Amino acid sequence: MPDIIQLLPDAVANQIAAGEVVQRPASAVKELVENAIDAGADKIQLILRDAGKSLIQVIDNGGGMSLTDARMSFERHATSKIRKADDLFAIRTMGFRGEALASIAAIAQVELKTRRHEDELGTRIFIEGSEVLKQEACSADTGTSICVKNLFYNTPARRNFLKSNPVEMRHILDEFQRIALANPKVFFSLYHDGQEVYHLPAAILKQRIIHLFGNNYNQRLVPVEEDTTIIKLHGFVGKPEFARKTRGEQFFFVNNRFIRDAYLNHAVLSAFEELLPDETYPLYVLFIDIDPSKIDINVHPTKTEIKYQDEKAIYAIIRSAVKRSLGRYNITPSLDFDQENSIEHLVTTKPFEEIVAPTISFNPDFNPFNSESKIEREIPFLRNTGEYRKSPIPANWDTLYEISKKETTLQQQVYEEKTIVADEQEVSRPAERQLFQVHSRFILSPIKSGFMLINQQAAHERILYERFLQQLQNHSGVSQQSLFPQSVTLNSSDFELLKELLPDIRALGFDIREFGKNTVVVEGIPADLSNVDENKLLETLLEGYKNNQSILKLDKRDSLARSLARNAATKSGTKMSLEEMNLLVDQLFACQMPNLALNGKLVITTFTLNELLERFEK
């Protein structure tokens, strides 16, 4: 039998390897912009078409390349940034693997134009599927311009795998934001399909954050600064009252490289202690400067993970520094400054055994939507029997109200009278039903076996959620036109997300038009929502949506319906008339799953007479 192992042709090997480095347009953007940063540019323009699918162009005013280097740059493992294995431990540049250009050229049509300051003429190279088509001298500005067209043109399977333009654009904006934050002294502009999305003049970090996230961030930032022998730390944390429901605004940079690190994240959060409202995430943009020999960034090709020595010390420094900043800005008045003052001292003399790495425990099998059987057990009489119902109220619903009249107190009688009045107008309502509002939060209703308590906000959320889901399916949301259409300006990534969701958002009854850069005009909102601030509504809707998608991994429509329902529901603390309570109860029991709150908890709980009697006998 002949030998069967053969070396793959370069082009094929490159295509395969390219998959590691370039998964989507955003990865190519990241690599190209980082190359421009490494080349010392202080002005970088990014031009995109079709969310980078048909064009990614990066123009920089950095050092440029010689003719030979230009040609070499497309070879695999060709890099000017490290020469020997030891250099891996002294990395200060973003790139070092020498894989990006080779990978991009393997799966796209690339034109590179570059000139060094000292050269009279520049070089232009056309390369496609790893094959150099043309190379010529040309006149060119100092620096490099690289055009990447039709990414994945020769790997259709990958191309088909790409998501819609708004989704891909969001990935690009995520990468862009990180690089822009890490390099505030560099001017950036970003054009997409002919529109300028960002124009970021060179600035200090605080200004850059404001340019990226919006003017109102000016008041939200607290500076953090710490200088120790192990690390230097600087940046900003957001004031706790502006913490958001999503983690979108949390950035750690180690030697200017964006990283994700649950441990360090925990250090920051723990500094906030109980200052944060439940389930909210504070903004932070923190830069750690550390001796490169103390870290290993060669862990993953996409390079958002880092390993470091002195992990515990770094944790302690970050925690104390953030805590101290919050204290200094009067956010935590009760802090003990004496103790926190010398972090250096703390780090070098104290052992760190007491610091425990965060652990996250969760039940991977938990799915709130599988809990039908559980509901059945808890409130058997509330289950939908499955039969077709003419009235929205379950057939067995009235049986809840067979209460002996003798048991009613004077106060109940007052309510009862009102109930009867209401019943005369609306015959379908169970005549015996009694409803009381407790602390503007719960609706209490006596039932045959005792009484039940309904969490009014959870109930309303459930009702709206099921209604919105249905509207999404049938495109049946009714819009209520605004007298004064509002224009709403979002940040770029939210705007892209909104565009992606627009068909569904319209199905819910929003009447929204695009109106220039990052701006929409809201001409109508779902009829179920009233007295809301359009601006806030859209922002929180998108935020809730992101949250649902990233944490609960829900599908698109579910996330939307859920987010809108939680926003639009009447909040705890709202007084309700008897009429309103009746309506709420009717609508609740017309739901598919009346007892399942959107957070997976209960909407209704019951107390049996026996339980009550037992209490008195204790």
Question: Which chain residues interact with Mg ion by CB under 5 A?
Answer: 35, 95, 100
Question: 81 or 149, CB closer to Mg ion?
Answer: 81
In angstroms, give the least distance from the CB of 502 to ligand ADP. Answer: 36
In angstroms, give the least distance from the CB of 65 to ligand ADP. Answer: 5
For 592-607, b where at least 16 C-beta lie within 10 A, e where not — what string? Answer: ebbbbbbeeebbbebe
Contact 115, 142 (CB under 8 A): yes
Query: Does 327 help bind ligand ADP (rule: CB under 6 A)?
Result: no
Query: Does 65 help bind ligand ADP (rule: CB under 6 A)?
Result: yes
Identified binder of ligand ADP from the candidate list 23, 54, 80, 256, rule CB under 6 A = 80
235 binds, among Mg ion, ligand ADP, none (CB under 5 to 8 A by kind): none
Question: 102 or 537, CB closer to ligand ADP?
Answer: 102
Identified binder of ligand ADP from the candidate list 25, 52, 62, 240, rule CB under 6 A = 62
Neighbours of 260 (CB within 10 A): 12
In angstroms, give the least distance from the CB of 302 to Mg ion. Answer: 12
Query: Does 27 help bind ligand ADP (rule: CB under 6 A)?
Result: no
Which range touches ligand ADP (CB under 6 A), out of 90-98, 498-506, 517-525, 547-555?
A: 90-98
In angstroms, give the least distance from the CB of 254 to ligand ADP. Answer: 18
Query: Does 79 help bind ligand ADP (rule: CB under 6 A)?
Result: yes
In angstroms, give the least distance from the CB of 74 to ligand ADP. Answer: 8
Token pair belonging to 144 = 């490099």
Question: 172 or 403, CB closer to Mg ion?
Answer: 172
Query: Does 39 help bind ligand ADP (rule: CB under 6 A)?
Result: yes
DSSP code of residue 86: G
Q: Provide φ and ψ at 149, rounded to 5°.
A: -110, 145
Query: Does 63 help bind ligand ADP (rule: CB under 6 A)?
Result: yes
Q: Rounded to an integer, what distance in angstroms lies between the CA atom of residue 266 and that of residue 276?
A: 13
Strand partners for 259: 252
Q: Rounded to an integer, what distance in angstroms lies between the CA atom of residue 313 and that of residue 294?
A: 13
Question: 95 or 240, CB closer to Mg ion?
Answer: 95
Q: Rounded to an integer, what distance in angstroms lies between the CA atom of residue 76 and that of residue 99?
A: 5
Query: Does 98 help bind ligand ADP (rule: CB under 6 A)?
Result: yes
Residue 577's contacts (CB-CB under 8 Å, 6 or more residues apart) are none
Strand partners for 45: 59, 189
Question: 94 or 243, CB closer to Mg ion?
Answer: 94
Query: Does 101 help bind ligand ADP (rule: CB under 6 A)?
Result: yes
| Start-end of H helices in 254-359 | 262-272, 311-328, 337-341, 343-349
- What residue number has its CB nearest to Mg ion? 95
Which range touches ligand ADP (CB under 6 A), out of 75-83, 169-177, 482-490, 574-582?
A: 75-83
In angstroms, give the least distance from the CB of 77 to ligand ADP. Answer: 9
Q: What would the x/- binding string for ligand ADP be over residues 134 to 173, using CB under 6 A?
A: ----------x-----------------------------
> Checking DSSP bridges between strand 122-128 and strand 131-138, what pairing results, if any?
antiparallel
36 binds, among Mg ion, ligand ADP, none (CB under 5 to 8 A by kind): ligand ADP
Question: 152 or 510, CB closer to ligand ADP?
Answer: 152
- Inter-residue long-range contacts of 153-158, CB under 8 Å, 24+ positions, other chains counted: 153/107, 153/108, 153/109, 154/15, 154/107, 154/129, 155/15, 155/107, 158/19, 158/107
Residue type, 14: N
**Total residues binding ligand ADP (CB under 6 A):** 24
Query: Does 593 help bind ligand ADP (rule: CB under 6 A)?
Result: no
Q: Rounded to an integer, what distance in angstroms lies between the CA atom of residue 590 and that of residue 611?
A: 28
116: closest CA among 99, 95, 141, 135? 141
Cα 591 to Cα 23, 378, 569, 587, distances in angstroms: 43, 17, 15, 7
122 binds, among ligand ADP, Mg ion, none (CB under 5 to 8 A by kind): none
Contact residues for ligand ADP, defined by CB under 6 A:
31, 35-36, 38-39, 60, 62-65, 73, 78-81, 95-102, 144
